Structure 1
Amino acid sequence: MINVFGAPPQGIQPAPHDPRIVAAGYQVAVREVDLSGVRDKDGLMLALLRGLGLSESFGRNWDALYDVLTDPGARPARFALVLCDYAHFRKRHKHLGAELEAVLLDAQRDAARQDRNLWLLAEEPDHDPRHW
């Protein structure tokens, strides 16, 4: 498998095994968002708040998420967001997953225009690259 951090971010990509260890070698900051317990949009926003280490003042809406991910003062220039249990989340919550993906990909494009890197990495429990 090609190391995702050796190339510019391209959509939502499979997370490497031990993403934090791999990212450290490329000076990429990593945060993980656990989607396994998400039941609705409120739960998703809470998971994002926790995973991104945001304050309670986080607006808990799509615009606020976009702003947090694209604000140069809030995120390092080389940043990876690991979405834990992403495939299962998308299956359980098709509409919510599509909305999340749209915001994440918009933020990724905006980051690229600012000469910043925002990797979006999908990690599954018991990750086995042969299942991708």
Structure 2
Amino acid sequence: MINVFAEAPQGIQAAPHDPRIIAAGYQVAVREVDLSHVRDKEGLMLAFLRGLALTENFGRNWDALYDVLTDPNARPARFALVLCGYDLFRRRSRQLGAELERLLLDAQRNAAQQGRSLWLLTEEPDTDPRMR
């Protein structure tokens, strides 16, 4: 498997095994957002609030999320966002997932235009089939 951090970010990609350890070698800051229990926009915004360690004054809307992801003062120049449970979230909330994907890809393009890197990585939980 090609190391995602050795290349420029390219859309939403599968996270490597142990993304934090690999990212450290490439001086990439990593934050995880757990989407596995998200069912609505409010839950989605709360997941980002927690995952990105935002303050309670975070606007909890699309514009605020975009601003947080693209603000050079808020994020390191080399930043990876690991979306845990992304595939399950997308299956469960198709429209919300499509809106999130558009926003994330726009933020990634914006980062590239600023000479910054925003990796968007998905990581699915190792689930026991009996727990589904």
Question: Same fold, TM exceeding 0.5?
Answer: yes
Cα deviation code 1:80-100 (max 9, x no counterpart): 000000001000000000000
Partner of 2:81: 81
Cα deviation code 1:30-85 (max 9, x no counterpart): 00000011111000000000000100000000110110000000000000000000
1:27-66 residue pairs with structure 2 within 5 A? 27-66=27-66
- RMSD, matched Cα: 0.9
Aligned equivalents of 1:31, 1:102: Cα separation in 2: 19
Q: What secondary structure sits across from 2:83 in the alignment? A: strand
Q: Are 2:78 and 1:90 equivalent residues in the alignment?
A: no
Q: What secondary structure sits across from 1:17 in the alignment? A: coil
Letter in 2 for 1:14: A
Letter in 2 for 1:109: R
Partner of 1:110: 110
Cα deviation for residue 126 of structure 1 reads 2.1
Q: Are 2:19 and 1:19 equivalent residues in the alignment?
A: yes
Q: What secondary structure sits across from 2:82 in the alignment? A: strand
Cα deviation for residue 125 of structure 1 reads 1.1
Letter in 2 for 1:36: S
Cα deviation for residue 122 of structure 1 reads 0.5
Normalized against structure 1, the TM-score is what? 0.95
Letter in 2 for 1:56: E
Normalized against structure 2, the TM-score is what? 0.95
Partner of 2:3: 3
Structure 1's consecutive aligned runs of 4 or more residues displaced over 2 angstroms after TM superposition are: none
Aligned equivalents of 2:49, 2:73: Cα separation in 1: 17
Percent identity for Structure 1 against Structure 2: 79
Cα deviation code 1:96-132 (max 9, x no counterpart): 00000000000000000000000000000129xxxxx
Letter in 1 for 2:25: G
